Structure 1
Amino acid sequence: MTVLIVGGDKVDKIKNYLKQEIGATKVKHVTGRKERSMKLPADLDLVIIMTDFINHNLCKNLKCQAKNNM
């Protein structure tokens, strides 16, 4: 399982939880502070968006991409 975490500054505990308890094999992290857009990788199983620490335009962009990939 591949997980992308967008937002947040210190996500080590979340990364460890996803790997140990959920069984994620890859956990990627993007802070989302300065990015306005990004392309979601095709191999994702789960996207976690931490909205308190993310550029709002990026959040909207990722939400639209995720809906289109369903």
Structure 2
Amino acid sequence: MAQTPVNALIVGADRLGNIPALLRGRNIAIAHHISGREPGHQKKVASLPSGTQLVILLTDFLGHNVMKTFRAAAQKDGIRVLVCRRSVCSMQQALDQCGYCASCPRRQMGTALLPA
């Protein structure tokens, strides 16, 4: 029985490179990708896109105000936030550390998505 993919919002970077393939392997679907370059992204975000279950912030392409805005919106909605650099290695380490690794017993039991 296949699990339903986790819907993620990625904030930062214009291009994602090999990150989508890594996330697909971890059963995470990219529902939305926001570069964070728009001036409006620095202001308060009313709410995250509907169905978002995970927010991934790519720190090497984001200003502090944009990170603060999206982190606050995620915390308000009780959505887990993953923070890392825009590289496959950094993303893989962050996923392993927060419980999204393939061998994680919580993932196999379906409880890996605990709010931050």
Which residue, 6, 10, 31 being the options, matches 1:5? 10
Moved over 4 A (4+): none
Q: 1:23 aligns with which of 17, 24, 27?
A: 27
Q: Distance in 1 between matches of 2:11 and 2:17?
A: 13
Radius of gyration: which is bigger?
2
1:20-46 Cα distance to aligned partner (Å, 9 max, x none): x11234432111122324431131111
The higher-RCO structure (CA 8 Å, 6+ apart) is 1
TM normalised by structure 1 equals: 0.78
Q: Distance in 2 between matches of 1:16 and 1:64?
A: 28
Percent pairwise identity: 32
Structure 1 stretches lacking a partner, 5+ long:
none
Q: Name the TM-score, length of structure 2 as normaliser.
A: 0.51
Select 1:41's aligned residue among 49, 52, 55: 49
Q: CA RMSD in A?
A: 1.7
Where do 5+ consecutive residues of structure 2 fail to align? 1-5, 79-116
Secondary structure at the residue paired with 2:9?
strand
How many residues align? The count is 69
Q: Does the 8 Å CA contact 1:15/1:27 hold for their aligned counterparts?
A: no
